[in-house]
Amino acid sequence: MGEHEQQQGWGFETRAIHTGQAPDPTSGAVVTPITLSTTFAQDGVGNHKGFEYSRSGNPTRTALETCVASLEGARHGMAFASGLAAEDNVLRLLSPGDRVLLGNDAYGGTFRLIAKVWAPLGVSWSAVDLTDTDALAAEWPSDTRMVWLETPTNPLLTCVDIEAVAAIAHAHGALVVVDNTFATPFLQTPLTFGADVVVHSATKYLGGHSDVVGGFLALDDDELADRLRFTQNAAGAVPAPFDCYLVLRGVKTLGLRVERHCANARAVVDLLTSHPAVERVLYPQLPDHPGHAAAAKQMRDFGGMVSFTLAGGLQAALEVVRHTEVFTLAESLGAVESLIEHPGQMTHASAAGSPLQVPDSLVRLSVGIESASDLVADLEQALDHV
């Protein structure tokens, strides 16, 4: 058995700590070195040790790419300078006249990239309800080349049946891209359900400590990987070696952290579902949640993100986010510390007036890994202000 096969047989946590990260052969260092060198010596022209120039490839980046690809069960992995840089690299597969179907709930920046950067270059887009697969099959636009789905979505946490969407998309020759940022590969591996490309904002759970911006692509298809690797190098939105190190370090504890994120999210959901100021709790574990069945089918657990609407509307939402003390009012998600935000005026402001606009009574929580009782008490006192 080769090294690759042996490592694919390892459990998730073992791969997170060891895959792509064998002790350094020259020094024995057990931590992957941060290789700052921008260029690599050649014995003769084209005769090198696998690295020529750090935009094209860097040993610290290769370690990260090998490790996260393995966690996604993918043959190929590519790291980028941000989640949006990774997304942009995928959208470069399209030509003018091609259409992207975007779920009608998605990160505002993804919507902005497609609608404000790629649409003026001739790429068409439609926002569709990807949970309604009958309508998707019946109303499929013939120019569609790509379906872009988040599951769970940002910020409504709707879950989409990847397998069902992939069956329809593939019947029409379209690619399926799944943004797996919210679920993480610990909870969900979209390639196993038929996705063609997995996208991550590594800024979130992969990094896990709010100290690095990064992106990632994982996929199986060799020809598609060649095309994406070509633009990774040609367009050049690659991460610095130190950033690769930070994500690699974060990934080592991904499984542990996500287990705790999920447990803490459940404690928070219990409070929210019983508080009179709360109108509706959005969490995929709740049986009345859209896509609960899809989440139960394709996720190991339900994640650390929780959204809710306030019976008192916009003013109540703004009051709650202003009054938490342990939850910090800030954009972003997926790190050890708990964050609270108002999507309508923060992360999803760029979707205002579009089919992806979010309710103004909505609050989004990224539940961290602090003591659950402190998180619950903090939210309770903030909710008591409205």
Binding residues for ligand P1T (CB under 6 A): 82-84, 107, 109-110, 150, 154, 179, 181, 201, 203, 213, 215, 331-333, 347
* Residue 72 or 150 with smaller CB distance to ligand P1T: 150
Q: Which of these is catalytic: 15, 105, 107, 283?
A: 107
Cβ-proximal residue to ligand P1T, closest one: 83
Q: Tell me which amino acid residue 377 is.
A: A
Residue 313 CB, nearest distance to ligand P1T (Å)? 22
Separation CA 137–CA 158 (nearest Å): 19
Q: Which of these is catalytic: 55, 75, 229, 249?
A: 55
Residue 167 CB, nearest distance to ligand P1T (Å)? 23
Residue 69 CB, nearest distance to ligand P1T (Å)? 18
Separation CA 110–CA 120 (nearest Å): 15
Q: Which of these is catalytic: 204, 257, 260, 364?
A: 204
Separation CA 215–CA 10 (nearest Å): 25
Residue 376 CB, nearest distance to ligand P1T (Å)? 23
Q: Which of these is catalytic: 179, 243, 301, 378?
A: 179
Residue 294 CB, nearest distance to ligand P1T (Å)? 17
* Residue 81 or 286 with smaller CB distance to ligand P1T: 81
* Residue 177 or 278 with smaller CB distance to ligand P1T: 177
Residue 206 CB, nearest distance to ligand P1T (Å)? 10
In the residue annotation, 179 being an active-site residue is answered as yes
* Pick from 301, 308, 198: nearest CA to 255: 301
Token pair of 91 as six digits: 């959208």
Residue that the structure tokens 């992969």 belong to: 206
Separation CA 303–CA 266 (nearest Å): 9
* Residue 52 or 360 with smaller CB distance to ligand P1T: 360
> CA-based angle 143:171:293, to the nearest 5?
105
In the residue annotation, 283 being an active-site residue is answered as no
Sheet-wide strand order for 144-150? 76-80, 215-219, 197-201, 175-179, 144-150, 99-103, 124-128
| Torsion sign, CA atoms 283, 287, 290, 296 | positive
Separation CA 126–CA 115 (nearest Å): 9
Cα separations (Å) of 338 from 208, 251, 271, 333, 377?
Answer: 11, 18, 16, 8, 13
Q: Tell me which amino acid residue 20 is.
A: G
In the residue annotation, 229 being an active-site residue is answered as no
CA quadruple 205, 286, 72, 133: dihedral, nearest 10: -130
**Catalytic residue positions, numbered:** 55, 107, 179, 204
